[in-house]
């Protein structure tokens, strides 16, 4: 005779193996009992046990459904690690996120509305969604012209399309000397030469743009003025104005990456000061959730057609469902609520980082979800990354952000968004203890 625990174990294994997927409905208990050759009362206990384990969710009048796999418990920070703590990928998630997003999708799931949302759509979207996107992207007193808003499948695709439109193969693209790694991959694929531009504590140095342009024409400059990745630097107003003057004087277009700028939304973008020289790119993945992506491009009027063509030819146009979801979430206040929650959460995580790493050379911003750690001697970035990995913690070395043949700083970037706060605290405490030791201390006979 089967007992309820063994039957529950079988169903749990099916869920873990993906045979039963999140959202699948379990059969009614009477039918489940017949399928498994058990009594109805045993089936009831199986369903109760599955719910207790957090594997299913009962909905009155609808039945029992497989729920999304719950977050794993905190891994041990001793060697060998049973699972990995990710301080590499950096997608902010807040506790109320799923509930807010689910509520906002209610109207979209009506059959007539859903049918409309599943139709194809072009890079320009539709007028109502462009208006909504302009509201979403507005900050620091600036709001883009909705007619200049285009859409991509995600932020990376938006960057790829803009670079493709502005920089021909073999040409030169100026980038900050430490930059977003994806732009390096895009340049390699397109046969573009990246030109590292010097930075200081305030961000990109405008004179570096002029100097690089004199030595060989720059077709564009890719820049992150607000909450730069990996340094968390935000250019002061005076620096942004200086940069805009240089761009206007030289005629160089800028690609402004504003992916993290929603966390510092009182700062106006470069596009507000040099609108005819700047193409702004942004996305939903950090604001909302990585699982439903949408990229935005705000282009000067004379470039809208060319960038739209680039989006189409690259296969980078958006899904209409994502457009409609973003529209609903913007209209009902979900985006605003999530942005505010993620702004508060960033401050909490930066406080945790400051508590554990306060005695080290760490550069960050209270609004940011990452920080830049200049490692103490005698540590090198590569050996520290390897040592952290032995403790089950993934971090990113400076070399990933370094352009060309420039010497990589002896530093790492820590992404603070992915782990739960208690796990983050444990991981940073482990890394701090590791940094206080000498690399030779880790060598054993």
End-to-end, the C-alpha distance of the chain in Å comes to: 54
pLDDT score recorded for residue 96: 87
- Is the peptide bond preceding residue 130 cis, with omega within 30 degrees of 0? no
Q: 319 near 152, Cβ under 8 Å?
A: no
pLDDT score recorded for residue 74: 41
pLDDT score recorded for residue 445: 38
Cα 13 to Cα 363: distance, rounded to the nearest angstrom = 45
pLDDT score recorded for residue 16: 82
Q: What are phi and psi of 437, to 5 degrees?
A: -90, 170
pLDDT score recorded for residue 224: 98
Cα 102 to Cα 288: distance, rounded to the nearest angstrom = 12
pLDDT score recorded for residue 166: 98
- With CA atoms as reference, report the closest residue to 388 among 415, 370, 365, 361: 415
The 3-class secondary structure across the chain, one letter per residue, is CCCHHHHHHHHHHHHHHCCCCCCCECCCHHHHHHHHCCCHHHHHHHHHHHHHCCCEEEECCCEEEECCCCCCCCCCCCCCCCCCEECCCCCCCCCCHHHHHHHHCCHHHCHHHHHHHCCCCCCCCCHHHHHHHHHHHCECCECCCHHHEEEECCHHHHHHHHHHHHCCCCCEEEEECECCHHHHHHHHHHCCEEEEECEECCEECHHHHHHHHHHCCCCEEEECCCCCCCCCCCCCHHHHHHHHHHHHHHCCCEEEECCCHHHHCCCCCHHHCCCCCEEEEEECCCCCCCCCCCEEEECCHHHHHHHHHHHHHCCCCCCHHHHHHHHHHHHCCHHHHHHHHHHHHHHHHHHHHHHHHCCCEEECCCCCCEEEEECCCCCCHHHHHHHHHHCCEECEEHHHHECCCCCCCCEEEEECCCCCHHHHHHHHHHHHHHHHCCHHHHCCC
Q: CB within 8 A of 137, min separation 6: which ones?
A: 143, 144, 149, 258, 280, 282, 296, 298
Going residue by residue through the chain, which has 445 residues, state the pLDDT in tens, using 9 for 90 and above: 578 888 988 998 888 888 888 888 899 999 999 999 999 889 998 998 888 888 888 876 778 988 875 444 444 343 334 458 999 999 999 988 988 898 888 778 888 888 888 888 999 999 999 999 999 999 999 999 999 999 999 999 999 999 999 999 999 999 999 999 999 999 999 999 999 999 999 999 999 999 999 999 999 999 999 999 999 999 999 999 999 999 999 999 999 999 999 999 999 999 999 999 999 999 999 999 888 899 999 999 999 999 999 999 999 999 999 999 999 999 999 999 999 999 999 999 999 999 999 999 999 999 999 999 999 999 999 999 999 999 999 999 999 999 987 789 999 999 999 999 999 999 999 999 999 998 865 544 3
pTM beyond 0.85: no
pLDDT score recorded for residue 63: 86
| CA distances (Å), origin 178, targets 107, 235, 323 | 44, 15, 32
């Amino acid at each position: 005779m089967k007992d309820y625990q063994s039957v529950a174990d079988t169903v749990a294994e099916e869920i873990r193996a993906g045979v039963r997927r999140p959202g699948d409905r379990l059969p009614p208990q009477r039918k489940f009992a017949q399928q498994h050759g058990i009594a109805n009362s045993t089936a009831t206990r199986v369903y109760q046990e599955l719910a207790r384990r957090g594997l299913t969710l009962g909905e009155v009048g609808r039945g029992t459904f497989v729920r999304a796999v719950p977050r794993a418990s905190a891994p041990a920070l001793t060697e060998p690690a049973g699972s990995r703590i990710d301080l590499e990928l950096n997608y902010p998630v807040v506790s109320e996120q799923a509930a807010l997003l689910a509520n906002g999708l209610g109207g979209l799931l009506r059959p007539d509305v859903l049918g409309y949302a599943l139709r194809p759509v072009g890079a320009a979207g539709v007028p109502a969604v462009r208006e909504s996107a302009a509201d979403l992207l507005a900050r620091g007193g600036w709001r883009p012209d909705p007619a200049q808003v285009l859409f991509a499948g995600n932020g990376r695709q938006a960057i790829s399309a803009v670079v493709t439109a502005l920089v021909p193969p073999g040409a030169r693209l100026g980038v900050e000397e430490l930059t977003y790694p994806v732009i390096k991959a895009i340049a390699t694929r397109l046969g573009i030469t990246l030109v590292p531009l010097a930075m200081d504590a305030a961000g990109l140095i405008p004179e570096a743009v002029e100097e690089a342009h004199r030595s060989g024409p720059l077709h564009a400059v890719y820049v992150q003025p607000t909450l730069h990745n990996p340094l968390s630097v935000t250019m002061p107003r005076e620096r942004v104005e200086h940069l805009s003057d240089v761009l206007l004087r030289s005629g160089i277009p800028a690609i402004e990456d504003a992916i993290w700028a929603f966390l510092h939304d009182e700062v106006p973008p470069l596009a507000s000061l040099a609108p005819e020289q700047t193409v702004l790119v942004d996305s939903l993945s950090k604001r909302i959730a990585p699982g439903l992506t949408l990229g935005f491009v705000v282009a000067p009027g004379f470039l809208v057609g060319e960038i739209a063509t680039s989006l189409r030819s690259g296969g980078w146009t958006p899904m209409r469902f994502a457009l409609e979801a973003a529209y609903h979430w913007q209209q009902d206040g979900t985006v605003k609520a999530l942005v505010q929650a993620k702004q508060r959460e960033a401050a909490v995580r930066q406080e945790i980082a400051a508590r554990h790493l306060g005695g080290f050379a760490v550069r960050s911003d209270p609004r940011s979800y990452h920080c830049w750690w200049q490692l103490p001697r005698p540590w090198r970035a590569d050996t520290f990354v390897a040592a952290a990995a032995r403790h089950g913690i993934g971090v990113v070395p400076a070399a990933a952000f370094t352009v060309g043949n420039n010497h990589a700083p002896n530093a790492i970037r820590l992404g603070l968004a992915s782990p739960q706060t208690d796990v983050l605290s444990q991981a940073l405490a482990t890394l701090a203890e590791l940094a206080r030791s000498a690399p030779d201390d880790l060598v054993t006979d």
